[in-house]
Amino acid sequence: MIVTTKELFKHAYGKYAIGAYNINNLEQTMGLFEGNVSSKAPFIVQLSRGARSYTHKRMLEAMMKTADEIFPDAVFAIHLDHGDEATCMDCIESGIYSSVMIDASAEAYEKNVEITKRVVEAAHARGIVVEAELGQLKGVEEDVVAAEHVYTKPEEAYDFVKATGCDSLACAIGTSHGAFKFKGEQKLRFDILEKIQELLPGFPLVMHGSSSVPQDEVARINAAGGALKGASGVDATQFLEAATLGVTKINIDTDGRLVWCRVHREFFRDHPEKFDLRDPGKVFMPEYAKFIANKNVLLGSAGQLDSVREYILASEKA
């Protein structure tokens, strides 16, 4: 069942966070759906600009429609991650997406407001919801690059939401894109979340760059020929604390890539005679499903599937 993020966020607010997982291919798609259904969790499928151009945007869109058919128990939103204005408009017109993210955070504040407002108006006219971003996360995610953190200012966040009409807001609180998130004693700025929640009670907030970069995955990758030195991530035990402060969506991409890398490096190390791409894929899909199910426990979304479905169906009847 494809739903909007707004519906998911209403059910989750203050209690748990929805996992938002980036996918790029068939194997990730199968593992993602199997992991969420097995852990009984609602979720968000994220398609980035890079994923849409990796093969062809219509290939991914067709997989989403097919997954909705073959996983009838799944409750999920289809979301554009880090879209520019042109990509947002294309996704709005596609009829596939239930949510888009307009990321104009690299622009001046006034320009960010202007662009976001145009996307919101176009999306809302089609029943699609919009995530926007204020502040910038350090690091690299595909073509999103920032050299330093630009923390979200709570008062500015309040003005931005009121001016644009966006449905959720990605905040910069110290997380980073990529596999190299922290050096030293940096901590997540929960004080920023607290202040934004005070100013915007009940409004859904989003944490980007929230992969935990499990050190066992990094160690296994390196033991199989990788060279990930100094990789580190977000403390996943802090997810639920963030959820109590209004974070309803937590983005996880890098960790899934690490699982893919580990499976393939170990498989071909242990089976040098193999060359069939399906052989490591058969290992990856259940491994990725297990990874997703474990993340959902940390997010608090595991076990919420039946409740959120009933909530959404009741809301539609009201």
Residue 193: strand, helix, or coil: helix
Torsion angles phi and psi, residue 55, rounded to 5: -115, -80
- The encoded tokens of residue 248 equal 């309803």
Residue 201: strand, helix, or coil: coil
Q: Give the burial class of 202: count Cβ atoms within 10 A of its Cβ; 0-12 exposed, 13-18 middle, 19 or more buried.
A: exposed
Question: What torsion do the CA atoms of 161, 163, 167, 169 make, to the nearest 10 degrees?
Answer: -40
**Catalytic residue chosen out of the listed positions 68, 73, 81, 143:** 81
Task: Transcribe 124-160 into DSSP letters.
Answer: HTTT-EEEEEESB-EEEETTEEESS-BPPPHHHHHHH
Strands 144-146 and 138-141, bridge-based pairing: antiparallel
Strands 99-102 and 76-83, bridge-based pairing: parallel
Q: Is 191 a catalytic residue?
A: no
What distance in Å separates the CA atoms of residue 16 and residue 14, rounded to the nearest whole number? 6
Nearest residue to 190 via CA among 138, 154, 227, 162: 154
- The encoded tokens of residue 295 equal 């993340």
Catalytic residues: 81
